[in-house]
Amino acid sequence: MFTPVARQRLPGEQLKTIRTKADRVTSLTPRRRSRRTVAPPDRRTLDISEMTGVHIDPSRAPVAFGRLAIPELFAQLVEPDAARRLRALASLCDLTHDPERLYQVVSEGFLDQLEVLLKDGDAAVRTRTCELLHLVTSHNIARQALLSSPLLARLSQLLDDPSPLCRTRAHRVMNSLALLPAGAKALQALVPKLMLKLQEEQEEKEEEVQALLLSTLSCCSRLDAAPALSHRGVTLIGRKLSHACSNIRREAAGAMMALSVIVIAMSQVCEAAVLPVLADLLRDQDVDVQANAAGAIMNTVVITTGKHQCLELDVLPVLLELLSQRKPDVEEEQRRKALVLYSLRALTSLAEAPEGRRRLLLQLPLLVGRSEPPEEDADIRRAARTAVNVVTWTP
Amino acid sequence: MSFVSRNQKGTNGTYTFSSRPRPVENRSKYREKQTEKAEKAHSTYGNIMYDRRVIRGNTYAQRFLSTMVQEDLAEMQRQQELRRRAIAQKNKTKEQLRSSTPEAVQGRKHNVVQTELYLEELSYNIELSHIECQTDPLLDRPATPLFIPAKSGKDVATQIEDGELFDFDREVQPLLEVLIGKTIEQSLLEVMEEEELACLRAQQRAFQELRNAELAEVQRLQEQERRHREEKERRIAQQREALRMEKETVEKIAARAYTQQYLADLVPTVFQSLRIHGFFYDPVEKDIETNFFPWLMAEVNSKLEKRNAARQLLDTLIHDVAQKKLPLYTNLETRPEK
């Protein structure tokens, strides 16, 4: 390691001043932005900030220091120039990753100002605002604030936005809101509109939007499935079950599962011939799709028609096969837990039909095997025991 | 704006004047009519430098007010002439006023003479002397020597040895710690947050799975319950129906038996009652009863009536007689007593 040594000035030598581009640039407080102070060319000393060079990102507005950052940026959001607003929004998006800033945003009530921006004429501004809202929903206080503000109505209008990116972002925000029970309750009013969107989306090929839409619908339907049902939910979602993208299949199966908790839905599912599609999905590649399909079946076979249809479709062997598979990897087992659980419940319901019982009596060892201690998971054991009980029940 | 100007007689009788500085009002170039002047409401204040009374700039060569801007050339010449004449006149008058030496006596002439100690030759010819100089055209200009100012002051030298100033390794330690620490802390925070979120999601998922499974179970049990209940109700209804039928049958049988028993006695009773009421009768007997006997009885009755009537008559007759004879007999009864 060297230590700096001051060299005596030789006669005739002058101190050379290092002039960089930094000399010509100002310090970055927005207040002084209008007046550029140029460093005099014969300065003998340099500031640290000038030595390190200035990294200006042209797509981001400069950020003030400390607690003034957020208010300053929000003040810039009302400027008439759209480019400036975009830059301010970009900086805001960066800042809100920090929970402290986010708290500041929410507690000082800046969220309502975003409402004006959502009506903005420029599509890029709207998209950025949606992104900001999405970042904001990762925290609980922000979610609560969002739910109680009029932003929700504005967001629902954005679902019809001409720009596809904006629509995607708005859907993302809705989705992250719907994961909260209070959010799902607030979004109940929007379910008819979402069903309409689902119908429309069949013409477009927006996969992410469809997946998000279905996910939101399933969250809302878990709370109360009636609105979705009354708007022909079963038919619309049933059509999505055979989509090419596995995300959409998974979400559609999940939505179907959430819907089929109501008895009316069960009968609708049986009538609409959705069960064969679900049975096909049981043989899908993706574990989640299989799990959701098994869940939907498990809900539907509670009624007698469902039972008979499933037995006709020969779903029993498939379910048993799913049950007998054991993956060596613990992680995989965890992921398959849902699948196993749902299959067991489906088998329990099927065992109530005499035909099912007869067939399952032959397969009893398999079920007993799942209910014994070699099985780690207590829930699976319990479910298996119930299944065994039902199968061996005699009047 | 108060126009404060104070003229005071000082304590020792001196006169003082002081006023607050006040801006000068703008005066229009041309005189205004009296009416307009009176109506002037707002007077604008002008820059004092642009006031006609203030002299701007160099006053050394100022001999007249230079307010004329555009002038004709002739006009200017004329004015210059006027000025010259005025000056000449002034000089003349000055000369006239100045006291001079009296005129020379007749036959003598005044002469100008120098009276100083050292006489000077006064002439208008200036002595000149010519001196020429020319640089050598082919000589190079030598380089200017470096100007080294003369040394003044004391020479002092210094040298920073190893380890005198600071030890970089030691000094940089806290800086590095802070920098790296903060960065890692921030990144840890972010990672933990994401982990937390992922954890929450996983928990939510697990909960949802369990919930769904349990919900299915609940539905199944509910359905089972419903089926059982319906079955039970159906059976109970059936049973009740059967019971009801049975009861009905029993009642029917009982009713039948009773009716039979009741009706067995019916026919003789009917005949009996009819007989009692006289529906079966002997016609001769009836005829005798209905026709003969009433006539017989009526005849008998009338006969008896007659007899009765006769007897009654007799009775009345007897009674009447007895009545009439009563007073006689009473009289008889009383007379004998006397």
- ipTM for the complex shown: 0.72
Q: Which residues of chain A lie closer than 8 angstroms to B168, CB-CB?
A: 1-3
Q: Which of B165, B175, B212, B230 to mutate to test the interface with A (most CBs of A within 10 A)?
A: B212
Q: Determine the pLDDT at residue B338.
A: 59
How far apart, in Å, do the first and last CA atoms of chain A sit? 90
Residue with tokens 């959001």: A77
Find the residue in A nearest to B189 (Cα): A98
- What residues of chain A, 6 to 35, have a C-beta less than 8 Å from chain B? 6, 8, 11-12
Nearest to A1 among B169, B217, B227 (CB): B169
What's the pLDDT band for A17 if we cut at 50, 70, 90? very low
A137 interfaces chain B, CB cutoff of 8 Å: no
Residue A309 has pLDDT above 70, yes or no: yes
Q: Does A99 contact B193 at a Cβ distance shorter than 8 Å?
A: yes
CA separation for the pair B205, A287 (Å, rounded): 14
pLDDT tens digits, one per residue of A34-93: 444 444 444 455 555 555 555 667 788 888 888 888 888 888 888 888 888 888 888 888
CB–CB contact A352 B224 (8 Å): yes
| Contact call for B213 and A379, based on CB within 8 A | yes
| Chain B interface includes A295 (CB < 8 A) | yes
Compute the C-alpha angle B40/B43/B45, nearest 5°: 165
Whether residue A299 and residue B148 make contact (CB cut-off 8 A), yes or no, is: no
Task: Note whether B169 contacts A379, CB cutoff 8 Å.
Answer: no
B205: nearest CA partner in chain A: A338
* Nearest chain A CA: its distance from B188 CA (Å): 12
Q: Which of residues 223-282 of B touch A (CB under 8 A)?
A: 223-224, 227
User: Which residue from B minimizes the CA distance to A304?
Assistant: B223
SS (H, E, C) B97-135: HCCCCCCCCCCCCCCCCCCCCCCCCCCCCCCCCCCCCCC
Q: Averaged over A311-335, what is the pLDDT?
A: 80
**Which amino acid does the sequence have at A110?**
F
**What is the Cα–Cα distance from A136 to A151, expressed in whole angstroms?**
13
| CB pair distance less than 8 Å for B216 and A12 | no
- CA pair distance A225, A299, nearest whole angstrom: 13
From the list B272, B122, B49, B167, the residue with the least C-alpha distance to A4 is: B167
Per-residue pLDDT of chain B (338 residues; tens, 9 = 90+): 445 566 666 567 788 888 888 877 777 777 776 665 555 555 677 777 877 788 877 777 666 655 555 556 778 888 889 999 999 988 888 877 777 777 778 888 888 888 888 888 878 888 889 998 887 777 777 888 888 888 888 888 888 887 778 888 888 999 999 999 999 998 998 898 889 888 988 888 888 888 888 888 888 888 888 888 999 999 999 999 999 999 999 999 999 999 998 888 888 888 899 888 878 778 888 888 888 889 999 999 999 999 999 999 999 999 999 999 999 888 888 887 65
Residues of A in contact with B165 (CB under 8 A): 3-4
Is residue A303 within 8 angstroms of chain B, CB to CB?
yes
The verdict on a CB contact (< 8 Å) between A345 and B160 is: no
Eight-class DSSP state of B201: H
The b-or-e profile of A354-366 (16+ CB within 10 A means b, else e) is eebbebbeebeeb
Sign of CA dihedral A187, A191, A195, A200: negative
Q: How many residues belong to chain A?
A: 395
pTM of the predicted structure, to 2 decimals: 0.56
- The answer to whether residues A320 and A366 touch, using CB atoms and an 8 Å cutoff, is yes
Contact B217 A345 (CB under 8 A): yes
